[in-house]
């Protein structure tokens, strides 16, 4: 699993969002960036997490934060997820898992006794200079904004 830690330089990523717009780490220089990885659009835990971030979006903006959601879903699934819940932040459609691999959040998981590979729900807080400020591995889906903003 992820070996990235507080103080490390964030991976220089590049991926398209639900509308085909390209996002890179450099686009966010001068802002704090929250990159939250979630397993699958429109599932209960992922919906609770993203809605909690949406409901606190004003607090993030006030603190000079930008938010980026990332999963391996295709652009169509991300568009549907974003529109259904009116998310004010982009969702990256990382189908080739390049961003997911760069951040090291892909790996073995267990669910109902079955083992499989998937995305580990993890959030990275990156400072204005591209340095990782925090890594949240134990995400509380219904109170995630509080974990990030304190």
Question: What domains are defined for the chain?
Answer: 14-18+36-149 (3.40.30.10)
Mean pLDDT confidence for 75-83? 98
Element (H, E) at 20: none
Quote the pLDDT of residue 72: 98
pTM: 0.95
Cα–Cα distance, 134 to 111 (Å, whole number): 27
Distance of CA 141 to the CA centre of its chain: 12
Give the model's pLDDT for residue 49.
98
Instruction: Summarize the confidence of residues 59-71 as an average pLDDT.
Output: 97
State the pLDDT confidence band at 126, using cuts at 50, 70 and 90: very high
Q: Which pLDDT score, from 0 to 100, does residue 85 have? A: 98
* pLDDT of 112: 87
Tell me what pLDDT residue 111 has. Answer: 81
Task: Please say if the pLDDT value at position 54 is more than 90.
Answer: yes
- Residues with a catalytic annotation lie at 46
So what's the pLDDT on residue 110? 86
Reported as a pLDDT band with limits 50, 70 and 90, residue 34 is very high
Contact 135, 5 (CB under 8 A): yes
pLDDT at position 1 over 70: no
What's the rounded Cα separation, in Å, for the pair 59 and 134?
18
Mean pLDDT of the chain: 96
- Average the pLDDT over 4-17 and give the result: 96
- The stretch 65-92 carries a mean pLDDT of 98
- Report the C-alpha gap between 74 and 119 in whole angstroms: 14
């Amino acid at each position: 699993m992820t070996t990235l830690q507080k103080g490390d330089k964030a991976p220089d990523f590049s991926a398209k969002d639900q509308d085909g717009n390209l996002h890179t780490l450099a686009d966010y220089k001068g802002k704090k960036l929250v990159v939250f990885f979630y397993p699958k659009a429109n599932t209960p835990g992922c919906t609770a997490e993203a809605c909690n971030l949406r409901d606190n979006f004003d607090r993030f903006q006030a603190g000079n934060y930008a938010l980026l959601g990332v999963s391996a879903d295709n652009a169509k699934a991300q568009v549907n997820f974003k529109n259904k819940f009116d998310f004010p932040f982009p969702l990256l459609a990382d189908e080739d898992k390049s961003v997911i691999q760069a951040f090291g959040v892909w790996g073995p998981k267990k669910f109902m006794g079955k083992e499989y590979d998937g995305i580990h729900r993890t959030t990275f807080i990156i400072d204005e200079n591209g340095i990782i400020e925090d890594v949240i591995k134990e995400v509380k889906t219904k109170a995630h904004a509080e974990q990030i903003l304190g």
